[in-house]
């Protein structure tokens, strides 16, 4: 059992870490959206450009590298946010355990407030894979359009 002072500190820290977890996830979604919009804009600019038939191989290589760098930059930023999200989630689960959220009888008799599976659910979170897949797919589409222009 934790002391009253420690419980007060954890009660103050809990909503801060909960907000941090949500903020990191939201940041990953924003990065994916912004990166995707940039790639979609590049794709439409290429497709609708009247100059696309005049691109030299060097121009195509340069533009293709720019799209790969764009994708890589956003993937790296998402990786950074995912790492910080996982750290915050780990601490949040520890705070929840210390506050007794996974123990039976805290709120309802013979039932924990939070299901046991929530302790490790964040380990199987694959949303960042979806973010990477979206960015890489759009980059692939752009490179295909560049190749066939």
Residue pLDDT, tens place only, 104-123: 877 778 788 888 888 888 88
Q: Against a cut of 0.75, is the pTM above it?
A: yes
The 3-state DSSP class for residue 24 equals: helix
HEC states along 122-140?
HHHCCHHHHHHHHHHHHHH
17 lies in which domain range?
4-147
Q: For the segment 7-56, what is each residue's pLDDT rounded down to a tens digit?
A: 899 999 999 999 999 999 999 999 999 999 999 999 999 999 988 788 89
Number of domains observed in the structure of the chain: 1
d(CA 109, CA 98): 19
Q: How crowded is residue 62: how many other Cβ atoms within 10 Å of its Cβ?
A: 11
Average pLDDT in the chain: 92
Evaluate if residue 133 carries a pLDDT over 70: yes
Between CA 9 and CA 58 the distance in angstroms is 60
CA distance 11 to 34: 35
């Amino acid at each position: 059992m934790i002391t009253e002072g420690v419980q007060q500190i954890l009660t103050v820290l809990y909503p801060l870490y909960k907000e941090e977890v949500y903020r990191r996830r939201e940041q990953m979604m924003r990065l994916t959206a912004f990166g995707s919009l940039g790639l979609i804009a590049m794709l439409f600019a290429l497709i609708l450009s009247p100059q696309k038939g005049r691109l030299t191989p060097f121009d195509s290589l340069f533009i293709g590298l720019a799209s790969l760098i764009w994708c890589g930059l956003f993937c790296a930023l998402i990786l950074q946010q995912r790492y910080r999200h996982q750290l915050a989630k780990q601490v949040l689960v520890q705070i929840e355990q210390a506050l007794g959220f996974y123990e039976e009888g805290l709120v309802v008799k013979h039932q924990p407030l939070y299901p046991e599976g929530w302790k490790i659910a964040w380990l199987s979170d694959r949303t960042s894979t979806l973010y990477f897949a979206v960015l890489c797919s759009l980059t692939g589409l752009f490179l295909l359009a560049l190749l066939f222009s």
